[in-house]
């Protein structure tokens, strides 16, 4: 390993600062644009290198003091050392560069990033990592690139206050567990009304004993569930088993505030306030007039479905995780929505089947996981939608899929990035495509 001086030029996707050493690209975590840093190389490849800070020789003027004392060791946040204005600027720049480099989407098609209403205390769900070493329980998050647990300093800066209020109780619950070394993770969630739930992950050989302990133990929460192995094996222990949140109020259509529920342990957006902005943009861009047929893929519990249903003739929505479809159907009954058909189905297989049946849709909405929707988008042109709305949490995989769609006869009209995850490099977005 050698040392070198690096001037950091900008932030890069993945969270590191970018500079050059002897002309070679160099990525350094926890640096800021205009930092001059002395680094130690930890990886030297043919076309790039990675380094770690030895000394900040000249600090950047955009640096701020991180509020979390374990920032830089805990792997949860990347950018607490950057002012929020610089975080937003970096995300917009990264998003625009990624879409142009991979999909040739021009800067004029990208709208300014939407800031988060909250910079800290916004996360409604966290995954606490636990490790029991020499009789001592460590509760926190993994150090980046490792399974070493960095203990939380009493609270997490980005977690909702309702979650932070539970942390001491969760630690006590696990310390008294019959096999504390067999609990590697506890998911902690809070909903918009302040209700909380725990999902305790157990990897031991006595699930009935674990369930018995949780049934009798005093818990600091409104609901407890136990997960042994796969997510589908989630078991309700006591208290509530679902949480709720609002996706907004759509007065223009005569619709009051829409509240949705989801099972504890199922997917939901972690920034509930920003999710309302995301849903509102999807609704604004959908171009529905009440007569269209809509296909929604990766629909979850209906986060977007119930914003679009009042504006469409019919919505067909698919999701491969059966408990989320059960949530969506329950939401439909509670909201008295009758023009939606929910299917438990793999989205790629479902779209291929629809295409083989020559089915047609006016709008397709998809919200895939971080890996994108490579297999799905190749079949979408066969469904002949006039519009496609692509919601993404990963710009590179979305850009890859946009390339496929543009080759299939669609063009990108506009794309809106959202800061769903302040203090990290992650970027949420929605992109509108129309048939050429």
Structure-token pair, residue 367: 């919200």
User: Using 50, 70 and 90 to split pLDDT, how confident is the model at 265?
Assistant: confident
Residue 205 and residue 178 in contact, taking contact as beta carbons nearer than 8 Å: no
For the chain, residues classed under CATH 2.40.50.1070 are: 125-239
What is the per-residue pLDDT for 132? 85
- Report the distance separating Cα 184 and Cα 200, nearest Å: 9
Residue 236: which of 199, 190, 207 has the closest Cα?
Answer: 199
Rg (CA), the chain: 23
What is the per-residue pLDDT for 267? 86
Fold of 92-116+271-435: Rossmann fold (3.40.50)
- The sign of the CA dihedral 374, 376, 377, 382 is positive
Residue 195: which of 261, 141, 130 has the closest Cα?
Answer: 261
- Report the distance separating Cα 1 and Cα 40, nearest Å: 6
Number of C-alpha atoms within 13 angstroms, CB side, residue 337? 28
User: Using 50, 70 and 90 to split pLDDT, how confident is the model at 75?
Assistant: very high
What is the per-residue pLDDT for 292? 97
What is the per-residue pLDDT for 229? 81
What is the per-residue pLDDT for 374? 95
Q: Is the pLDDT of residue 1 over 80?
A: no
Q: Is the pLDDT of residue 254 over 70?
A: no
For the chain, residues classed under CATH 2.40.50.140 are: 3-63
- Report the distance separating Cα 67 and Cα 64, nearest Å: 9
- Report the distance separating Cα 221 and Cα 28, nearest Å: 40
pLDDT mean across residues, the chain = 95
Contacts of 360 (CB under 8 A, 6+ apart): 293, 383, 384, 385
Segment 372-392 mean pLDDT: 97
- Percent of the chain past pLDDT 90, that is, above it, reads 92
Kindly list the catalytic residues.
Answer: 393
pTM: 0.94
Segment 79-99 mean pLDDT: 98
Fold of 3-63: OB fold (Dihydrolipoamide Acetyltransferase, E2P) (2.40.50)
Segment 261-284 mean pLDDT: 94
Q: Is the pLDDT of residue 252 over 70?
A: no
Residue with tokens 């929460």: 221
Question: 125-135, pLDDT tens digit by residue?
Answer: 999 999 988 88
Residue environment code for 9-30, b if the CB has 16+ CB neighbours within 10 A, otherwise e: eebbbebbbbbebeeeebbbbb
Ramachandran class of 89: left when φ > 0, alpha when ψ lies in -120 to 50, beta otherwise: alpha
Residue 194: which of 130, 245, 234 has the closest Cα?
Answer: 245
Segment 427-432 mean pLDDT: 98
Residue with tokens 């190389």: 41
For residue 161, count other CB atoms closer than 10 A to its CB: 10
**C-alpha distances in Å from residue 361, one per residue of 288, 294, 378, 385, 408:** 12, 6, 15, 5, 16
Residue 175: which of 187, 183, 165 has the closest Cα?
Answer: 183
Residue 183: which of 172, 194, 192, 191 has the closest Cα?
Answer: 172
- Report the distance separating Cα 336 and Cα 331, nearest Å: 8
For residue 48, count other CB atoms closer than 10 A to its CB: 14
Contacts of 225 (CB under 8 A, 6+ apart): 197, 198, 199, 200, 234, 235, 236, 237, 241, 264, 265
Q: Is the pLDDT of residue 232 over 80?
A: no
Segment 358-362 mean pLDDT: 97
Residue 186: which of 234, 241, 139 has the closest Cα?
Answer: 139
Q: Has domain 125-239 been given CATH number 3.40.190.10? A: no
Segment 201-213 mean pLDDT: 96
Structure-token pair, residue 294: 């809509």
What is the per-residue pLDDT for 255? 57
């Amino acid at each position: 390993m050698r040392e070198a001086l690096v001037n950091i030029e900008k932030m890069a996707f993945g969270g590191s600062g970018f500079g050059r050493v002897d002309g070679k690209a160099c990525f350094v975590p926890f640096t800021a644009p205009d930092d001059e840093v002395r680094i130690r190389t930890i990886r030297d490849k043919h076309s790039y290198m990675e380094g770690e800070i030895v000394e900040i020789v000249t600090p950047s003027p955009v640096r701020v003091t991180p509020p979390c004392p374990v920032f830089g060791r805990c792997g949860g946040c990347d950018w607490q050392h950057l002012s929020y204005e610089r975080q937003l600027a970096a995300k917009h720049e990264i998003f625009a560069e990624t879409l142009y480099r991979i999909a040739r989407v021009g800067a004029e098609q990208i709208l300014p990033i939407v800031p988060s209403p909250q910079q800290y205390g916004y996360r409604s769900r966290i995954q606490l990592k636990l490790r029991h070493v020499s009789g001592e329980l460590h509760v926190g998050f993994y150090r980046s690139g490792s399974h070493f647990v960095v203990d939380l300093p009493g609270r997490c800066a980005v977690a909702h206050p309702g979650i932070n209020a539970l942390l001491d109780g969760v630690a006590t619950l696990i310390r008294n567990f019959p096999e504390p070394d067999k609990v590697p993770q506890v998911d902690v969630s809070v909903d918009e009304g302040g209700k909380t739930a725990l999902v305790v992950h157990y990897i031991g050989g006595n699930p009935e004993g674990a369930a018995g302990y949780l049934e009798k133990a005093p818990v600091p929460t409104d609901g407890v569930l136990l997960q042994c192995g796969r997510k589908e094996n989630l078991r309700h222990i006591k208290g509530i088993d679902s949480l709720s949140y609002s996706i907004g109020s759509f007065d223009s259509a005569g619709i009051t505030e829409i509240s949705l529920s989801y099972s504890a342990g199922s997917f939901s957006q972690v920034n509930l306030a920003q999710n309302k902005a995301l849903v509102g943009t999807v609704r604004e861009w959908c171009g529905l007039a009440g007569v269209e047929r809509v296909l929604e893929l990766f629909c979850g519990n209906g986060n977007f479905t119930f914003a679009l249903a009042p504006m469409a003739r019919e919505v067909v929505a698919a999701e491969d995780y059966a408990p989320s479809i059960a949530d969506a159907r329950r939401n439909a009954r509670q909201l008295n929505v009758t023009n939606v058909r929910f299917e438990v189905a793999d989205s790629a297989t479902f779209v291929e089947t629809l295409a083989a049946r020559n089915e047609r849709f006016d709008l397709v909405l998809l919200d895939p996981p971080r890996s994108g929707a490579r297999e799905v988008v190749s079949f979408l042109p066969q469904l002949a939608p006039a519009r496609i709305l692509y919601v993404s949490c990963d710009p590179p995989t979305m850009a890859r899929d946009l390339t496929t769609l543009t080759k299939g006869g669609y063009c990108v009209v506009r794309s809106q990035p959202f800061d769903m995850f302040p203090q990290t490099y992650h970027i949420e977005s929605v992109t509108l495509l129309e048939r050429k």
